[in-house]
Amino acid sequence: MAPSAGVNLLFPSSARSEALQCSVPGRAGSPHPVQGLLERFEAGPGCAAREPGNQETHVVALGRVTGDPRLPSCSQVTVHLKPLSPPWPALRSVRLLLSSRLPVAWWLRAEALPPGLLLQVEVSSNSSVRAHGVGLSVHTVRSLPFRPRALHRWTVKHHGSLSSMTHTAQGNQVYIRLGEDPTQPAVCQLQSMFLSHNYIVSDLQPQEVQGCSRPRQADRTGPEVHVIKLHSSGSGLCGSLQVEVVVSLLPPLGKSKAARVVLILSSSVPVNWAVVAGGVRGHVTVHVGVTSLFRV
* Confidence (pLDDT) at 245: 87
Q: How confident is the model at residue 4 (pLDDT cuts 50, 70, 90)?
A: very low
195-218, pLDDT tens digit by residue? Answer: 999 999 999 988 888 877 776 666
Top mean pLDDT of 7-16, 140-149, 237-246 is at 140-149
pTM of the model: 0.81
**Residue 278 near residue 111 (C-beta atoms within 8 A):** no
In the predicted structure, residue 3 carries a pLDDT above the cut 50:
no
171-191, pLDDT tens digit by residue? Answer: 999 999 999 888 999 999 999
> What is the rounded distance in angstroms from the CA atom of residue 8 to the CA atom of residue 26?
10
Nearest to 88 by CA among 63, 111, 109: 111
* Confidence (pLDDT) at 252: 75
In the predicted structure, residue 18 carries a pLDDT above the cut 50:
no
Amino acid letter, residue 153: R
Higher-confidence residue of 17 and 186: namely: 186
* Confidence (pLDDT) at 101: 93
Q: How confident is the model at residue 21 (pLDDT cuts 50, 70, 90)?
A: low
* Confidence (pLDDT) at 177: 96
Nearest to 7 by CA among 240, 189, 226: 226
For residue 267, give every residue at least 6 positions away whose Cβ sits within 8 Å of its Cβ, in sequence order, or none. 229, 230, 233, 245, 273, 289, 291, 292
* Confidence (pLDDT) at 154: 98
In the predicted structure, residue 229 carries a pLDDT above the cut 50:
yes
* Confidence (pLDDT) at 236: 45
Q: How confident is the model at residue 240 (pLDDT cuts 50, 70, 90)?
A: very low
270-291, pLDDT tens digit by residue? Answer: 888 988 888 888 899 999 876 6
Average pLDDT of the chain, as a whole number: 82
50-83, pLDDT tens digit by residue? Answer: 988 889 999 999 999 997 766 667 899 999 999 9
For residue 262, give every residue at least 6 positions away whose Cβ sits within 8 Å of its Cβ, in sequence order, or none. 15, 223, 224, 225, 226, 284, 285, 286, 287
Average pLDDT in the 218-243 region?
A: 69
* Confidence (pLDDT) at 224: 85
